[in-house]
Amino acid sequence: MKLDNLTAISPIDGRYRSKTEPLAEYFSEYALIRFRVRVEIEYFITLCELPLPQLATFDKQLFTSLRDIFLNFDEQDAQRVKDIEKTTNHDVKAVEYFIKEQFDKIGGLEAYKEFIHFGLTSQDINNTSVPLSIKEALADVYYPQVEELIALLQSYAEEWKDVPMLAKTHGQPASPTRLGKEIMVYVYRLSEQLKSLKACKITAKFGGATGNFNAHHVAYPDYDWKTIADKFVSEKLGLEREQYTTQISNYDNLGAVFDAIRRINTIIIDLDRDFWMYISMEYFKQKIKAGEVGSSAMPHKVNPIDYENSEGNLGIANALLQFLAQKLPVSRLQRDLTDSTVLRNVGVPLGHSIIAIQSTLKGLHKLILNEEKMSEDLDNTWAVVAEAIQTILRREGYPHPYEALKALTRTNQKMTEETIHEFIKQLNVSDSVKAELMAITPHNYVGI
């Protein structure tokens, strides 16, 4: 383990660094600077493509060299930006000065340097860079993890589609179900909410100091800056521009993204708790790995720690996601600075979510089905066929069937196959109906 991991304050960058490493490409300080450089370069290229009169002579063959500035951006470049920031005490201005230095290295671009960051305010860069980083992190890291979880659950649902299982409602025995169907519930829920997340707009603010293109319009009043900005944000960044803003993004759509992730996380918490319970009920055993210890005191323990780890991380993630969704859309007048520091934490709940999903996957891969225990519980709970019997008796017009079954089953007497069959034998119904009722067992009363 690297010393950095041992001394990190956050477990995301310490204990769990191996799980969250891919997110560093999107949410680290280095990544944020790289995204800012990317937006600035693409914006400058857009101004050249218009072109603004002063940029008409810019050699478009150099666009490749300009894009190489962010495509080849490395940690040394990021450090140079941070060094400039020590003087400017402004992170986005440091990016502008860094790009001007890169123009000097290309050579012959002195006349064009002042069109870097032309007409913009810092939030035109931040409120494009951050949503862009979120969009790409979701596509490259988060979606594949959720889809892997859904695929594993789908395979289990298919594998165990015919395994009968005693259901529990309110913690009490209820009408039997199938294990595969119960897992399919999570496949359905996660698939629906992932679809909902993917449908969320990821939008950007891009409109100058207070959202009105003041500087752009005063310098070039004949240009349609709203259309230019719409095209830049959509075609160059793959985002949608918010049409009416203050100095900063409205953050409403980003809040919707956070809420959608929170719903997915909540479903996974539900899943974690269910599988934790199934293991406690001995419906599953867990694969044992040589050398692992379940308890420092009790040698026999094989604990469902993966689900517990997942649940804990999802709880942290959801608390942060809720805060982000509620806080970011609120800002005093045309802008206060509270969003700036808060935005730097958008990767944190995603980090905890990724840790959690990987823990859930690890736990699911350990499962060993214990059909014997499931069958035993069904055999010991014949009372659950009461619903089936009273429903058929209703169909047959039998008087007060619910009450008859209630009187039979809501006693301290254990319901067995014999008890149920003796009750059926004394019913005043045809032999064919009795045969139908006799054929019902806790193993086959599982619906569709």
d(CA 283, CA 31): 45
Count of residues for the chain?
A: 448
Buried-state track 278-311, b at ≥16 Cβ within 10 A, e below 16: bbeeebbebeeeeeeeeeeeeeeebebbbbebbb
Alpha-carbon Rg of the chain, whole angstroms?
A: 31
Task: Evaluate whether 70 touches 41 at the Cβ level (below 8 Å).
Answer: yes
Which residue has tokens 């979120």? 134
Catalytic-labelled residue, pool 295, 365, 421, 430: 295
- Residue 216 is among the residues annotated as catalytic for this protein: no
Catalytic-labelled residue, pool 170, 296, 300, 432: 170
d(CA 359, CA 275): 13
- Residue 170 is among the residues annotated as catalytic for this protein: yes
Number of neighbouring beta carbons within 10 Å of residue 342: 15
- Which residues lie closer than 8 Å to 155 by C-beta, 6 or more apart? none
Residues with a catalytic annotation lie at: 170, 295
